Amino acid sequence: MSVHPIPYSDPLTAFAPFAGQDGAVLLDSAATAGGRGRWTYLCLTPQTVHLDPADPFTTLTDALRPLSPAQDAADGLPPFRGGLAGWLSYEAGRHLEALPVPRPDDLGVAETAFGVYPVVAAFDTARQQAMVLGLPGFDAAAAALATRLSAPLAPLPPPATATVPMRAELSRDEAARRIRQVIDYIYAGDIFQANWTQRFLAEGLPAGVTPLDLYRRLRALSPAPFAACLSFGGAHVLSASPERFLRVDPDGRVETRPIKGTRPRGTTPEDDARLAAELCASEKDCAENLMIVDLLRNDLSRVSQVGSVRVPVLNGLESFASVHHLVSVVESRLRPGDSAVSLLRASFPGGSITGAPKIHAMELIHALEPARRGPYCGSVFWMGPDGAFDSSIIIRTLVIGGNGRIAAQAGGGIVADSEPMAEVDEALTKARAMIRAVSGQDTPLPPA
């Protein structure tokens, strides 16, 4: 492979000339919680783009096969050195399990969208170094991109500030009624937990505001270690996700970091510490997290070496710009012959945004949510030919559809002792930064 150092600059500034173009992907470490925010990647000129393949998981394998991994990569290079990048929508799970037919797409967003990027630019935000990397056979393309990114960059102006209203899709009372239905199913013994969510909608971008402007506004309000800005098929995914879905190292080591349990940040240091302590002491939130950890241990065990699945962190506290979360860590090692795609087949969509038992929880989600989720609760990912892989759960995300509509979505895991209105308020806490980025307000308007 070829490595071309380039002058370090703000990755957003370097990305700006490409933003919004079909296949332009920014994988943005906008925060460094737990050391998971070191590298930011620009995937700019895809060799090919795949939209809605008949079998997305087989297509991932097929698209990666022609690419060769580096044989003599030097130390200090980023984990992602070229390969595939894009999104899998929540409904892509229908290719893996017998699930209800998805509801109609009212946004105009590809269910699966990814590009093939033999050349990527990587920005080390910790050491403030940058480079362009080309997989074997793509040295000339890497050199050309390095030349382009080495040219002086004009500073980015502040993002446009115009706003438009966001409306809740459901009233508070209707949202609480549907949450009570989930609780009824739990008491009937059908499920232990389900992740029920609700949407907030705007009818189009504010005048003069680009998708990159909106992403920058969201990023400023809610910096996150798995942030991303992607454009495929006329749609845009603007993500401030704090949650890793799956990571695979080239040697087959696996990590997933499910989030379950949330409190808002406090208005004073004392209030903030009180809310964090309350979350850590909450039997309900800890039990909710444990249920999802058990589900993920089961998913990982389907493709992992016997005895390798372990939980080094259970209910650890992590604090972000607007919320505290309980985050657990589950690790394993893939069996010989299995891969990141095998792991996706065993685990997608993520347990933290479905429920337990997983398939029945997804059936109830389909019955009780009024619209398809689309990219929300799916995954943004990159995948390299050396077996390396990383991915997020698409939460805290704005989706701009091909028809111009903007959607935000939020919810939480519902368990037997959930209080419906408290769950509605928790979803609003999670959605606040997204709603403010679009509308300038902390809360949505009621349904029209």
Give the model confidence (pLDDT) of 377-418 as tens digits.
999 999 999 999 999 999 999 999 999 999 999 999 999 999
Question: What percent of the chain shows pLDDT beyond 90?
Answer: 92
User: What is the pLDDT averaged over residues 178-190?
Assistant: 97
Q: CA-based diameter of the chain, in Å?
A: 64
The H or E element containing residue 285 is helix 283-301
pLDDT at 321: 83
CB atoms under 10 Å from CB of 38, counted, come to 16
In this structure, which CATH number among 1.20.1300.10, 3.60.120.10, 2.120.10.30, 3.20.20.10 belongs to the domain 2-252+334-439?
3.60.120.10
Q: How many helices (H) and strands (E) does the chain have?
A: 10, 22
pLDDT level of residue 180 (50, 70, 90 thresholds)? very high
For residue 72, name the pLDDT band (cuts at 50, 70, 90). low
pLDDT at residue 351 tops 90: yes
Catalytic (active-site) positions: 243, 260
- pLDDT tens profile 360-369: 999 999 999 9
76 confidence band (pLDDT: 50, 70, 90): confident
Q: What is the pLDDT of residue 35?
A: 53
Q: Is the pLDDT score of 301 beyond 80?
A: yes
Average pLDDT over residues 74-103: 94
The span from the CA of 411 to the CA of 430, in Å, is 8
Q: Does residue 171 register a pLDDT over 60?
A: yes
pLDDT of residue 448: 87
Evaluate the omega torsion of the peptide bond into residue 357 and state whether it is cis, within 30 degrees of 0: yes
What average pLDDT score do residues 111-133 get?
96
Check residue 32 and give its pLDDT: 56
Helix (H, G, I), strand (E, B) or coil at 225: coil
* Residue 1 banded pLDDT, cuts 50, 70, 90: confident
Q: How confident is the model at residue 352 (pLDDT cuts 50, 70, 90)?
A: very high
- The pLDDT tens digits for 50-69 are 999 999 999 999 999 999 98
% residues pLDDT > 70 (the chain): 98
Q: How confident is the model at residue 73 (pLDDT cuts 50, 70, 90)?
A: low
For the chain, the structural domain boundaries read: 2-252+334-439
Residue 365 contacts residue 195 (beta carbons within 8 Å) = yes
Residue 422 has pLDDT above 90, yes or no: yes
What is the residue-averaged pLDDT of the chain?
Answer: 95
Q: For the packed helices 172-187 and 358-368, what is the interaxial angle rounded to 10 degrees?
A: 150
Q: What is the pLDDT of residue 312?
A: 97
Report residue 36's pLDDT band, with 50, 70 and 90 as the boundaries: low
Two tokens, residue 99: 């699930």
Reported as a single tens digit per residue, the pLDDT across 329-348 is: 999 999 999 999 999 999 99
What's the whole-number mean pLDDT along residues 112-130?
96
Per-residue pLDDT band at 38 (split at 50, 70, 90)? confident
- Check: CB of residue 363 under 8 Å from CB of residue 100: yes
The Cβ of residue 9 has, within 10 Å, a number of other Cβ atoms equal to: 16
